[in-house]
Amino acid sequence: MSSRTSQRTRRHRLSTALFGVLAASAGNAAAQSENGVAPDTTDLDKVTVTGSRIARTGFVTPSPVTAISAEEIRATGATTISDLMARMPALAPSYTLGNSTRFIGTAGLGLLDLRGMGVDRTLVLVNGRRHVGSSPGSTAVDVNTIPVEWVERVEVITGGASAVYGADAVAGVVNFILKKSFTGFETRAQTGLADEGNYNRSFASFSVGTDFAGGRGNIAVSGEYSKQDRFGRGNRAIGREYLVSVPNPGFDPTRPPSESNPQNVLSGPGGNHSTSYGGTFNLGTFDFRNPASY
C-alpha cells in the first residue's frame, strides 16, 4: 500500500515539474513577443522539392544566351522579324522573304533555323510560351506574324535546350519578349532598294494604346504593312548569261583552295545555249530568244 502511494506521489511531482517547465517556456515566449524580440531566423538560398533522386543537371547547366534589345532592332532597319534574326550567324540558314521560295510551301514565310538543323528543331516562344505552328504537322513558326514594333527584346539560346523544352529545341530556343503595355500613338515608315536598282522594299506600321481601370489594365492595337518587289535572275547582266563551273587552269594543287587560288571558275558565252533532244541548237538569253542568232 505504501509502495503504491509512493509511486503516485512521484508521478504527481513529475507532472507538476513538467507543467512548471512548460509554463515557464510559454512565459518566456510571451515576454519575447511583448518586447518585440523575434526568434532567430535563417534565410535559405534555395529550396528544392523533388520526387526523384536523379539529378536534373540539364535544368541548371548554363547555356549561351544572346539578347537583342528594342533599340538594337530599330537601329538595324529590319522590317520583318525573319530579316532581323537572319543577320545572326547561327540563324543564317533561316527562311526570309528573299529566299523562302527555295521550296514549295515556304514562299513568304519567315522560319527560323538554328545552325541549319531544320526549322522543326528550333523552338520559338513568345513571352516564354510556345507559339502555334504555321502549318499542320509542323512546329515551325512564321515569325513574320509577330509585330516587330511590339518586341521589347529577343533572347536566343544557341545551345541545345532539349533537356528543358523537348525534342523541338534540339538546335536552340528563340524567345520573343513583347512589351507589357503601350500608351500613346507611334508610327514608322521606311523604304529602300538594291544598290543597282530594283528589289524595292516598303514598310509602314502604327501602334496605339491606352491604360484603363486606373492603370490596372492596358489595351493596344498594332498594324503593319510590308511589300517587297520581285527580284529575278534576269534583273542583272550576270544572271542573263549562261555560266558554268569549270576547273581553274591556274589552280595550284600544292596549296589549299581559297579566293586567291580557286579550284573552279565560272565561264561561258555571252548568252544562253541549249541543245534539245532533236539536235536543234538554240542561242539566246534568259529573257528572250532571237531567231537571228540561230
63-120 confidence digits (pLDDT tens):
778 888 888 888 887 777 887 888 887 887 787 776 766 666 667 788 888 888 888 8
> Among all chains, which residue has been given the C-alpha cell 569549270?
246
Percent of the chain with pLDDT over 70: 65
Q: Is 22 exposed, middle or buried (0-12, 13-18, 19+ CB in 10 A)?
A: exposed
Grid cell listed for 8: 503516485
- Residue 279, pLDDT score: 45
Distance CA 128, CA 106 (A): 25
122: β partners: 172
Residues in the chain: 294
User: Distance between CA atoms of 80 and 149, rounded to whole angstroms?
Assistant: 10
3-class secondary structure, 217: strand
Which three cell numbers, joined as nine digits, stand for 38?
Answer: 523575434
Cα torsion angle, 14, 20, 23, 27, sign: negative
Question: At 210, is the pLDDT very low, low, confident or very high (cuts 50, 70, 90)?
Answer: very high
Please say if the pLDDT value at position 241 is more than 80.
Answer: no
Does this model's pTM top 0.75? My answer is no
Mean pLDDT of the chain: 73
Any idea which residue has 529577343 for its cell? 154
Q: Could you give the percent of the chain with pLDDT greater than 90?
A: 3
At residue 203, the 3 state secondary structure works out as strand
Residues 166, 174 contacting (CB under 8 angstroms): no
